[in-house]
Amino acid sequence: MDDSNQAALSRSTVLVTGAAGYIGSHAVTELLRQGCRVVAVDNYSNSSSEVYARIERLAGASFVRAEVDVRDDAALDKLLSQHRVDACIHFAALKSVSESMAQPLRYLDNNVGGLLTLLRVLRKHGVQGFVFSSSATVYGDPVRVPVPEVASLNAVSVYGATKLMGEKILQQLTAITPEFERPWRVVVLRYFNPVGAHPSGQIGEAPRGVPNNLMPCVAQVAAGLRPKLNIFGDTYPTPDGTCVRDYIHIQDLVAGHVAALRHLLGDGASLTLNLGTGLGTSVRQLVETFMQVNGVAVPYEVVAPRAGDVAQCFADPSLAHQVLGWRAHHDLADMCRDAWRWQCSRPRSHA
């Protein structure tokens, strides 16, 4: 790691949108730990400000927070007039694939409209270092795995389309620098399947209602909050017939963001990178590992496949290692252990 980049990071102030959410809360905790100042923004549409007190306790540091919608340019403008920031990590978005198909305009407005407004206000305030949360969903059904960044892109859902549009908007901005303007420098991070929680058990994923994603479902079944897990299909062309994904520990994912920021603050070039482990894990393997490492039962039943699921998707993460020196360190057992610790210790209001 370059010491001057680390020094730039620990002197910096970072605007974090979607800061109260699953990934945002872990990122804010780590940024504070790295010595950064943080300006946190969220509209709490899928989270609660209660998490901030736990972040401050964990990090032993405080930060600025504001209830702001990223589509509200006046509120963003006011905030950035009060706090000078060096870079932005943009997590704020709606993320349910099924909901995006039922409410396409809401998703386009929030995710694409929100991005455009945020970029406009950032430019006004001279902030042109930007990290964008994208998703492996932009690869659609990949032709080959592991998937490299140069693979063809094909978003199947409206949610996926909002991520692809976001990437394209950012590509346009980084490709052209009008005269007398500072160039944008953007790192687009395509996350595979973030799971697990902070090892303290103090923060984690708190989905509202019935979770869509596998790990929170598994943890809730293990806790007895739901009677059984539905495994969506076991006749896929994979080793055990269930779908294969690239699960990545939230702490590794967050470390990828810190590395991306260090790169940008050290005047690094714009990049698009996969954040995954490079390992494919089947649904059945994840459930078996969860039961084994935590010593709990997860009753399950195989049901019909879920519409839109692809058989296999896992990353080629070598580019992130090459350019950022980043790689994932936690294994599936760590992910299952930390997800379970969070499930057992989470505040009742989030149960």
Question: Which residues are marked as active site?
Answer: 159
d(Cα 77, Cα 175) in Å, to the nearest integer? 25
Contact flag: residue 194 with ligand NAD (CB under 6 A): yes
Binding to ligand UFG by residue 135, rule CB under 6 A? yes
Q: Which of 95, 262, 263, 337 binds ligand UFG (CB under 6 A)?
A: 95
Binding segment for ligand NAD (CB under 6 A), chosen from 20-28, 149-157, 240-248, 334-342, is 20-28
Query: x-or-dash pattern for ligand NAD, window 46-65, by CB under 6 A?
Result: xx------------------
Rounded Cα gap, residues 206 and 350, in angstroms: 6
Q: Is there binding between residue 280 and ligand NAD (CB under 6 A)?
A: no
User: 184 vs 314, which CB is nearer to ligand UFG?
Assistant: 314
Does residue number 21 form part of the binding site for ligand NAD (CB under 6 A)?
yes
Which one of ligand UFG, ligand NAD, none interacts with residue 212, CB within 5 to 8 A by kind?
ligand UFG
Alpha-carbon torsion 237, 159, 188, 171, what sign?
A: positive
Which of 17, 71, 11 has its CA nearest to residue 257?
A: 17
Distance CA 217, CA 200 (A): 21
For the bound state, the minimum distance from the C-beta of residue 65 to ligand UFG, rounded and expressed in Å, comes to 26
User: Cβ of residue 139: shortest distance to ligand UFG, in angstroms?
Assistant: 8
Q: Map the footprint of ligand UFG across residues 156-215, applying CB under 6 A.
A: 191-193, 212-214
Segment lying near ligand NAD (by CB under 6 A), choices 44-52, 234-242, 268-276, 328-336 = 44-52
Q: What's the gap between Cα 216 and its chain centre?
A: 15
- Select 148 or 266, whichever has its Cβ closest to ligand UFG: 148
# chain residues binding ligand UFG, by CB under 6 A: 21
Which structure tokens are listed for 49?
Answer: 């400000």
Q: Which does 277 bind (CB under 5 to 8 A by kind): ligand NAD, ligand UFG, none?
A: none
20 binds ligand NAD (CB under 6 A): yes
Binding mask 221-250 for ligand UFG (x = CB under 6 A): --------xxxx----------x-x-----
Asked if 24 is part of the footprint of ligand NAD (rule: CB under 6 A), the reply reads: yes
Minimum distance of ligand UFG from residue 37's CB (angstroms): 30
Which CB sits closer to ligand NAD, 21 or 268? 21
Residue 193 — φ and ψ, nearest 5°?
Answer: -115, 90
- The entry of ligand UFG, ligand NAD, none near residue 22 (CB within 5 to 8 angstroms by kind) is ligand NAD
Strand partners, 90: 17, 132
Residues in 30-49 at the binding interface with ligand UFG, rule: CB under 6 A: none
Site size with ligand NAD, rule: CB under 6 A? 28
- Residues at the contact surface with ligand UFG, assessed by CB under 6 A: 95, 97, 135-137, 191-193, 212-214, 217, 229-232, 243, 245, 283, 306, 309
- Residues at the contact surface with ligand NAD, assessed by CB under 6 A: 17-18, 20-24, 42-47, 69-71, 91-95, 110, 114, 133, 135, 191, 193-194
